[in-house]
Structure 1
Amino acid sequence: MGDASVTGSKVDFGAFAVLQKWPSLGNQRLPDREPYQVSEGTLDACISAFMEKPAPTRHLYEIRTAAQPPLVTDILSPEHVIELSRLREFL
């Protein structure tokens, strides 16, 4: 019997994704506003675009894509994107 481990899970980095940014004031998200699209393309391209953002502003961004359980949710938080970026480096 094979257990599905994190390393055995497949992530489709070619899946369609959208990089979005939350409107902000003083480097803080404005909770009464909706995020707007910065770029779209593959999950891989959106992760790369996110990682090019200055680290102190990354909390203002998120990536939306089709969920790929268990590793990819439909809205990826900055911490999640960083983890996927690390995973991508191993593949």
Structure 2
Amino acid sequence: MGGVSVDSKVDFTAHAVLHKWPSLGNQRRPDRASYQVSEGTLDECISAFMEKPAPTRHLYDIHTAPQPPLVTDILSPEHIAELSRLREYL
């Protein structure tokens, strides 16, 4: 049977914002707030994230409306990479 189940559909056209954390020595600064880098659809923000150099991706996250169970309001770098792979299959 294969395929994607109804519960795992993700709306990649949903509004999203890519944020970057200030860093020191390529580490997040916990004493600083993240700031907006780009805004658009979830698809556009995932693409913008994936264009970043792999060694700096841990400094980014995406803020969007939750879409349970696969999309939370703040997507971690690991979660974004997973959604990028999922997007390739859909």
Q: Give SS of 1:38's match.
A: strand
What is the alpha-carbon root mean square deviation over aligned residues?
Answer: 1.0
Task: In structure 2, give the amino acid aligned to 1:79.
Answer: E
> Which runs of 5 or more residues in structure 2 are unaligned?
none
Distance 1:23 1:36 in 2: 8
Letter in 2 for 1:53: K
Q: What TM-score do you get using the length of structure 1 for normalisation?
A: 0.93
Q: Which residue of 2 aligns with 1:7?
A: 4
Q: Distance in 2 between matches of 1:87 and 1:28?
A: 28
Q: What one-letter code is carried by the residue in structure 2 that aligns with 1:7?
A: V
> Could you tell me which amino acid in structure 1 is paired with residue 12 of structure 2?
F
Cα displacement (A) at 1:46: 0.0
In the other structure, the counterpart of 2:21 is: 22
Residue 55 of structure 2 aligns to a residue whose secondary structure is: helix
Q: Any runs of at least 4 consecutive aligned residues in structure 1 with deviations exceeding 4 A, and if so which?
A: none
Deviations 1:44-73 (A, max 9, x none): 000000000000000000000000000000
- Map of 1:58 onto structure 2: 57
Relative to the length of structure 2, the TM-score reads 0.94
The yes-or-no answer on 1:49 pairing with 2:73 is no
Where in structure 1 are there 5+ consecutive unaligned residues?
A: 1-5
Identical-residue share of aligned pairs (%) = 81
Hey, what's the Cα distance between the residues in 2 that align with 1:14 and 1:83? 17
The Cα shift of 1:7 comes to 2.5
Say how many residue pairs are matched: 86
